[in-house]
Amino acid sequence: MPLPTEIRLRRAEKALEVTFDDGSRFLLPAEYLRVESPSAEVQGHTPDRKQIVPGRRHVGIIGIEPVGNYAVRLEFDDLHDTGIYSWEYLHVLGREQPERWARYLAALQALGLSREP
The model's pLDDT over 87-96, given as tens digits with 9 standing for 90+, comes to 999 999 999 9
What's the pLDDT at 44? 84
Looking at residues 96-117, what average pLDDT do you find? 97
**Domain range holding 62?**
4-111
Query: How confident is the model over 16-69, as pLDDT tens digits?
Result: 999 999 999 999 999 999 999 999 889 988 778 889 999 999 999 999 999 999
Host H or E run for residue 108: helix 97-111
Q: Please name every residue paired with 26 in a beta bridge, in sequence order, or none if there are none.
A: 18
Question: Model pTM greater than 0.85?
Answer: yes
Residue 68 exposed, middle or buried by CB count within 10 Å (0-12, 13-18, 19+): exposed
What's the pLDDT at 80? 96
Residue 79: inside a domain = yes
Q: Please name every residue paired with 15 in a beta bridge, in sequence order, or none if there are none.
A: 10, 29
Percentage of the chain modeled with pLDDT above 70:
100
Q: Which residue has the higher pLDDT, 44 or 10?
A: 10
* 34: CATH: 3.30.2020.30
Residue 102: inside a domain = yes
Quote the number of domains for the chain. 1
Residue 117: inside a domain = no
Looking at residues 61-83, what average pLDDT do you find? 96
Looking at residues 58-82, what average pLDDT do you find? 97
